[in-house]
Structure 1
Amino acid sequence: MTATTHQATCVAIDGRAILIEGEPGIGKTSLALALIDRGASLVGDDGVLLEQRDGRLWAMPHPNTRGLIEVRNLGLLTMPCIEAPVALVLDLTHSAPRHVESANTIQRAGVALPCLAFWPDSPVAAIRAELALSLHGLAS
């Protein structure tokens, strides 16, 4: 299958990618940076390639922005990047519910993925994202 461009930021933790979606300025890159600070690896910032492989959805760096992350007030910085299978979609939104019993399912490039509406404005958002991956993410 051909890879398609998808507007999102993406990091990987222990070989499982979190696709971080949301409106411009909501904090996708900030969450990615916090996760990278905790040991995650960058896949791509503000755009990734998605490709279906053997029933899994893989996220890859976009060739136009490979290894680049835009850090507010600092500009474009370079860092290592990887590709990884997507295990979870976090939709950053201020209308996220306070409690959920299970993740919703969303389709990306023909693959069903668990998706959580995720409140972005929290000093512990990275810890919450890691917990969301462990509780709701697809296994590797």
Structure 2
Amino acid sequence: MSQLHANCVQIGAHAVLLRGPSGSGKSSLLLRLIHAGGFLISDDRTDLVARGADLIATAPQPIAGLCEVRGIGIVHGLPVRQEGLVKVLIDLVDDAELVERMPEPEYEEICGIPIPRWTLCASDLALEAKIGVTLALATGEMRLES
């Protein structure tokens, strides 16, 4: 088992890890994705385990079902899933200049499983849509042109 300082949200049948430093917008993005139909798996810290060839995310027991909403407090009652099949890792940055225009696909090995990793700007107005694209690429619904 491994633990990341990351949020996890289920979108459709798959989960996305949202990683970034404190205050980078992980929880705000998580709330927007939940508002658009996603489900909270974990906020702030995510436990990860390999199950066969799959990477499974869960929330550590003390924070399961909870989400910190900056400026409001810790809330309970969001739509929740107990675990999710992770397909993508998103690293959030606060400067659009740090996002490559046409990056080569990258992977990060977590619990021995390679997961596609993308760096995106937290303030990008198309962020939720771009996360949908990364998930579609990871599941084979879309492909990158070579």
Quick one: which amino acid aligns to residue 101 of structure 2? R
Quick one: which amino acid aligns to residue 117 of structure 1? T
Q: Distance in 2 between the 1:22 and 1:51 partners?
A: 20
TM-score, with length taken from structure 2? 0.86
Quick one: which amino acid aligns to residue 104 of structure 1? E
Q: Deviations over 1:49-81 (max 9, x none)?
A: 101001111001210100000001110011242
Q: Could you list the runs of 5+ residues in structure 1 that have no partner in the other structure?
A: none
Q: Percent identity?
A: 29
2:102 aligns with 99
Q: CA RMSD in A?
A: 1.4
1:124 aligns with 126
Q: Could you list the runs of 5+ residues in structure 2 that have no partner in the other structure?
A: 141-146
1:14 aligns with 12
**CA radius of gyration, larger in:** 2
Moved over 4 A (4+): none
TM-score, with length taken from structure 1? 0.89
Q: Do the aligned residues in 2 keep the contact of 1:19 with 1:89 (CA within 8 Å)?
A: yes
Number of matched pairs: 135
More helix, by proportion: 2
2:80 aligns with 81
Q: Distance in 2 between the 1:24 and 1:138 partners?
A: 29
